[in-house]
Structure 1
């Protein structure tokens, strides 16, 4: 019997245990091993960095959620241009990320479509992913409309991928009867535009400026989603960003289900070093801080003053009061099997200090309540401590984290393009129309250092490998 514990349990499959659907961790993983997905790459998907970011993000998040496997079919004879995989074969990267590249045109598997849709008979779930400027959308193939997929903003491609994988996961799980039969979308330029998000007023300007340097606090689920998103952006080859990477933890097996830049070979290695290796291979420069984030955090004169915060710890969030960052974007995710798709974002400076949002009283950790499944497991395995620790771990998946990362990076980049910032945002991926937040305001802090984006002409065909 495989030994499942808090450090090895798949963090999304854990939802079946938490919901009482299965009687053991083994049954949870067996259930998720029946979930499969297909990605169809039609002509034109590779013509923008947004399309490439969409494919890579959909694939990397899907292989960590659909344990039965992910198939890729279609137009794979191209070299990639996104910094993280620049010059690499799309087919080779697909296999490296864990996909099975297939030649059979027809399928009954749930399918995500990028580029031109297939002409063959479509499976019951077949969803088109599209993007334009700062907007992204998913819709049933054949529904008509869709965004142009012309203006090249990889953050929009990432957002489309996140929504597509989420929609497919809800379909295989039976979480939402309407999944795959509805159009869902969002504007990162104005995330509070709900009914009219597709309007030209919310598409935003062309992507022109990218952050030159950032401090990433925490290299777990969210921190690696930030790094992944940065690796998709159109940085010039000679102007890749400088990142300060801060984390103290080592990679555990459970992290493979949530962290986009970790693989089995990284187990027991410091997360910060594994992430740094991948980013440096892509031409980024890094500095490593291998300690916990705490009070009195100092920033030296030549270090980044803009931070993306991804630490799931109330006391650490309160310590942002004393950190010497000029701008901080903090995101947090739901942790239960009902709310793991929920995203909450804060941008500082804002109308409230971190210590006013996360009060001293909120640092007290509530005792973990065991449901009947965990109680029975604790009794059977004579391990009340281990089962309590397992029950306390969050349900999590990277297709939620990458949407949060796209939103967080937008808060840094929107002021660089003349836009406003949002002090607080709440997004529910299961029902995206339920979005709330503070009114946008002019950014009051020190401007983030930036570089010019290396944009290609829209629709430029890329050479095959």
Structure 2
């Protein structure tokens, strides 16, 4: 089943999978591309991430309107025309904007936007934020950094989803933002723009290519690599299933039944990355051999694999975990190793034992109607998930790898709640204790005027 629409079953709003899908097919969103959006890698990453993630969440459709006559320069879509990519990623290019659609604006705000939900997606260096539209603040973008573009897109799609679901009365009427240079900064997060992006990881090992792993790969493929691009080792053993289409940013319906590692490898090789594949489970027997990447990004959802990281001997490991229920699926926790505790101390052995699934009245009724208690128990046990949360987590994870290349530190742990970024805690930044991640020089950033920040008290 669609992993986000499943929340309607879990909350009791829908009494069948079909009714849940029908409800989500009422949700629509518009992306307006204003002047200047395509001038930077951050702007292109913001648009592409907003398009990809909203198409997998708003099943009624994603309308794209505005300045569409551009060719893209980010590695994953280099040389492709915007209109072609819109269709490929599940959107619809509109010559005339529909009325009363929730709108995400990237670039300059249109004259007289619809009086309903309309927010700007913005970035400046390592800072990413969204804010209610204001016609006197035409410049919503600053120094180029695609990590911030990805984060801004994820925040914007999340805000629009909160709005259509009616989950949060303030959605669309607040400023939400953070600095990836200092993700724990609260009231003063705008002060941590950070340095220009000069260095990018040269070698990485990605373990797990589902929801999170593909978000990592997507974000890497938005970064301003020159003709020399990273060497990536991709590790996974699973095949793409239909439910993965709702969570995995690099999968399409034509990929069903194929091994995820091969699908992702094909996309990244076409974008110029050097790829090696490992088609087996990650285990305690793993060893990093000379010439292999010593920095790993972990995107798995089981405790057993995380505990095995003790023996892997990577110089730097960054992993993320997400909430799984309809109340907490927006929650994100990241870890960096080496840290004050080993992975086996963070995740105890008894935590790997799965609790029994207790069926709600909705699932009990479905099991009786369909004479399928096993199937409904399996469905009830599956996590609620959506790629706009995965994309935001990916921006946090990649920041932990790229920040030390620019003189910054890493955080042993971070906790974020996308619904309200006021709820974030974590370990203070500390110098990375291991060997540095090998790096390549980034393409020289395109300079734009720094944005004019409006002073709003309700900023997060």
List aligned pairs for 1:26-425, cutoff 5 A: 26-105=18-97, 107-142=99-134, 148-199=140-191, 202-237=192-227, 239-425=228-414
In 2, Cα distance between the equivalents of 1:382 and 1:74?
Answer: 50
CA displacement at 1:107 relative to structure 2: 2.1
1:387-421, CA deviations, whole angstroms, 9 ceiling, x for partnerless residues?
00011110000000001001000000111000011
Root-mean-square deviation (CA, aligned residues, Å) is 1.2
The residue that corresponds to 1:5 in the other structure is none
Work out the CA distance in 1 between the residues paired with 2:90 and 2:235: 28
Indicate the SS of the match to 1:414.
helix
User: Distance in 1 between the 2:319 and 2:113 partners?
Assistant: 44
SS at match of 1:149: coil
Cα displacement string for residues 86-136 of structure 1 (whole angstroms, at most 9, x for unaligned residues): 111011111111111001145210000011101034240000011000001
Q: CA deviation at 1:37?
A: 0.3
Q: Distance in 1 between matches of 2:99 and 2:78?
A: 31
Moved runs in structure 1, 4+ residues, more than 2 A?
Answer: 143-148
Deviation, 1:146, is 8.6
- Using the alignment, how far apart are the partners of 1:450 and 1:42 within structure 2? 34
Asked if the contact 1:111–1:123 (Cα under 8 Å) also holds between the matched residues in 2, the reply is no
Count residues in correspondence.
449
CA distance, structure 2, for counterparts of residue 99 and residue 393 of structure 1 = 27
Using the TM superposition, give the Cα deviation of residue 324 of structure 1 relative to its aligned residue in structure 2, in angstroms. 1.9
Instruction: State the shift of 1:459 in Å.
Output: 4.0
Distance in 1 (CA, whole Å) between partners of 2:305 and 2:437 is: 23
Tell me if the contact between 1:345 and 1:426 (Cα under 8 Å) persists in the aligned partners: yes
Question: Aligned pair in 2 of structure 1 residues 208, 67: CA closer, same or farther (>3 Å)?
Answer: same
**Partner SS state of residue 184, structure 2:** coil
| Residue pair 2:196, 2:445 contacting (<8 A) in 1 also | no
Alignment of 1:421-440 (within 5 A): 421-440=410-429
TM-score (norm 1): 0.95
Q: What is the CA–CA distance in structure 2 between the aligned matches of 1:144 and 1:375, rounded to whole Å?
A: 54
Mean Cα displacement is larger for which, 428-437 or 120-129? 120-129
SS of the equivalent of 1:215 reads strand
Structure 2 residue runs of 5 or longer lacking an equivalent are: 450-460
Structure 2 counterpart SS, 1:431: coil
How far is the alpha carbon of 1:458 from its aligned partner? 1.6
Which residue, out of 442, 445, 452, partners 1:453? Answer: 442
Give the secondary structure class of the aligned counterpart of 1:131.
Answer: strand
Name the CA distance, whole Å, in 1 between partners of 2:113 and 2:68: 21
Answer whether contact 1:154 1:233 (CA < 8 A) is retained: yes
Asked if the contact 1:138–1:185 (Cα under 8 Å) also holds between the matched residues in 2, the reply is yes
User: Secondary structure of 2:143's partner?
Assistant: coil
Q: Per-residue displacement from partner, 1:204-226 (whole Å, max 9, x unpaired)?
A: 10000000010000000000000
Distance verdict in 2 for CA 1:270–1:106, change over 3 Å: closer
Kept after mapping to 1: 8 A contact 2:125/2:143: yes
What SS class does the counterpart of residue 430 from structure 1 fall into?
coil
**2:313 & 2:340 partners in 1: Cα distance?**
18
Please show how residues 5-20 of structure 1 align to structure 2 within 5 Å.
9-20=1-12
